[in-house]
Structure 1
């Protein structure tokens, strides 16, 4: 599969709302407020931005201008029924950007909706449980063979063709389905739970999937964060994992016009996510060991971190899309399981470069 490049941007806004379509007495039917985050993913035409390399900032600026109408407002005066789904529809209608594939609205740090071009609402909700585990089948000396613990995070993703309805799946419904699972997993040794004798992130995600899918047919992915920088997804058939790192690197954009500050040497703390797809190892219970991903990528990381990327990359420009493609060239032979690279220069703003299944979006 050839490279597919999506530019991504996010913009916050503060707003009050009340959602009248919910049952009487529902807390969200009262006037309340959120720190919302609007998000967009778009396949932008080649010459859309003012100059090559300016796509991310231009997309971010358009999104910020769009949601500024909603900032510090009563949403009901602009959007009569301001569910996350309807806010996403409003942004999609009012955002003058070509090639939009997904518009997302994150109403809290733990919940949101991504609305795609088919009017499918991908609802997600994040949960946390505190547990211990050890991996019994790892090689001798592997640190995960010792009993240890994590503040695990789980994201339930549910995909529904919402059509023109105001609301797809109520977050409270997901909460009710999750509650008995949380009771079983929280403050427990996962190895003692039937079916989790080898509690890798992949096996935990599959265990949760098997518990929920019969009662939540809209379930599309289960995501398990083992730490804040790595985790696994399962969709009933395929496993995916990711490893996240940060790069503190200098850049300059050589195509920026004279006098533009982006032409000067500047820098970012880039957020880099490497996504991998591989079959499950039936002995170890993982697809690829997170430690192996880190070890294989480490020499490449050292070429990029605390470096002037506009020099490291020779004659290429040092915009986010070019950096992502450069990383792909360096890592693809070393980690053939990789099929997606996310690279953000600021929070929620950057690119997704994929040459396999896109997989689920992760919250910002």
Structure 2
């Protein structure tokens, strides 16, 4: 099975806008402002931007250049109807990337729009609920068998029908009754959530919302900031995130390029797994098991010179090469691994995935 490697970049801008097409009484009709984030995922040939291994930096620079005319400006002067979707379409056109898999705009930490490679818009909304739960089927002594709590986060992604748009406020409306059930509650007491794993919570939310929100595409549940589950009506996926404080150097960078020097990043490494749902345990995998299985490799990667990991392999220590190397080393440890995200900085890095496309978490 062929791997797909995507270069990812994100950049922020501050801007004001009026959404004149909304009713006069709507609060967004008036002049207001946001801290926006633009993002892009694209398959780029090696050396795109001039330096082999510098594709992420080049993509981020292109994105910042395109967004610069919007920074500290009135968006209506550039985009006729500067809602999130129209901004994303403007950004896609300005970037002019032949193989852009996704282009998105986030207007707040709770809302945004992502255009897929076909140009279809996916609206996403983020919600938070504070709840307690315990997992009744874990082995004795497992910490999740004790009653405990989380500040859960839920992302709902919806795609409109061909002849309709997805109204973000419609998503808010259909979510509100579920929030009333889930917030400040014990999840085990809710019908259908007697075994409230992240996978079961995501599927429960899906089945509750899908009849009222036909365009629902997938549900993402963050159990903690570093792990969670997704459900698209057919398949469960989970992820576990790690932080690597590691050094690198790019030996292929031109003379005088500072990337030839030893430098470093606080990398974000996210492992995505796809496996059948265990009908007894109610999960695909135990997040604790993933951490334990990955631990030997994590110890080689964290607080280490990653360029030495690449020596003898004929590859540089650019983020794409590192992602491929980590995937090769991690797969025997975690056979259900199907995707790896490696970010140098927030929103800028690599997605390496096997098989078809899958949901990506917003920046």
Q: Report TM bin, short chain.
A: over 0.9
> Which of 200, 219, 223 is the matching residue for 2:220?
223
Residues of 1 paired with 2:96 and 2:262: CA distance? 31
SS of 1:69's equivalent in the other structure is helix
Residues of 1 paired with 2:328 and 2:126: CA distance? 34
- CA drift of 1:162 comes to 6.2
8 Å CA contact 1:340, 1:358 repeated in 2: no
- TM alignment of 1:1-364, pairs within 5 A: 1-160=1-160, 168-315=165-312, 316-364=315-363
Residues of 1 paired with 2:359 and 2:24: CA distance? 33
Residues of 1 paired with 2:255 and 2:319: CA distance? 20
Residues of 2 paired with 1:160 and 1:359: CA distance? 18
C-alpha deviations, 1:257-294, integer Å up to 9, x for none? 01100000000000010000011001100001000000
C-alpha deviations, 1:160-201, integer Å up to 9, x for none? 2568x8xx3222111111110000000000001110000000
Gaps of 5+ in 2: none
Residues of 2 paired with 1:27 and 1:290: CA distance? 42
Residues of 1 paired with 2:249 and 2:221: CA distance? 37
Task: Tell me whether 87-96 or 154-163 shows the greater mean CA deviation.
Answer: 154-163
**RMSD of aligned alpha carbons:** 1.2
Residues of 2 paired with 1:260 and 1:201: CA distance? 45
C-alpha deviations, 1:106-134, integer Å up to 9, x for none? 10011110012322111110000000000
Residues of 2 paired with 1:294 and 1:105: CA distance? 32
C-alpha deviations, 1:188-223, integer Å up to 9, x for none? 000011100000000001110011000000000011
8 Å CA contact 1:45, 1:98 repeated in 2: no
Gaps of 5+ in 1: none
Call closer, same or farther: CA 1:54–1:139 in 2, change over 3 Å.
Answer: same
SS of 2:160's equivalent in the other structure is strand
SS of 1:160's equivalent in the other structure is coil
SS of 1:297's equivalent in the other structure is helix
Task: Tell me whether 9-18 or 314-323 shows the greater mean CA deviation.
Answer: 314-323
Provide TM-score, normalisation by structure 2. Answer: 0.97
Provide TM-score, normalisation by structure 1. Answer: 0.97
Residues of 1 paired with 2:2 and 2:63: CA distance? 28
8 Å CA contact 1:44, 1:98 repeated in 2: no
